[in-house]
Amino acid sequence: LQIIDVDGRQCTDFQCFSARKLDKGRDHPLDVTTTRTLMGSSYPMPGLHSKYYDQDMEPLVEVVQDTCG
């Protein structure tokens, strides 16, 4: 998945879900509070603090490259 901000440095709306959980009727999206708590950062970035989590503390997305920020 590549997210492109064509005008540069704008906030984007991004939401993701676990397909496995959706199949079971559980729609737990990316949770910023859980992510911030586990990563110790508001903005995950490539490297050690690279994942976004859902409320069950399961990783949903991992940042592998950030060419903007």
Annotate 3-69 with three-state secondary structure: CCCCCCCCCCCCCCCCHHHHHCCCCCCECHHHHHHHHCCCCCCCCCCCEEEECCCCEEEECCCCCCC
Whether the pLDDT of residue 12 is over 80: the answer is no
Q: What's residue 24's pLDDT?
A: 93
C-alpha–C-alpha distance, residues 52 and 20, integer Å: 17
Token look-up 């409320």 returns 55
> What's the pTM value of the predicted model, to 2 decimals?
0.71
What is the DSSP code (8-state) at residue 2?
Answer: -
Task: Return the minimum-mean-pLDDT range out of 20-24, 30-34, 41-45, 59-63.
Answer: 41-45
pLDDT tens per residue, range 25-52: 998 888 889 989 998 887 777 877 788 8
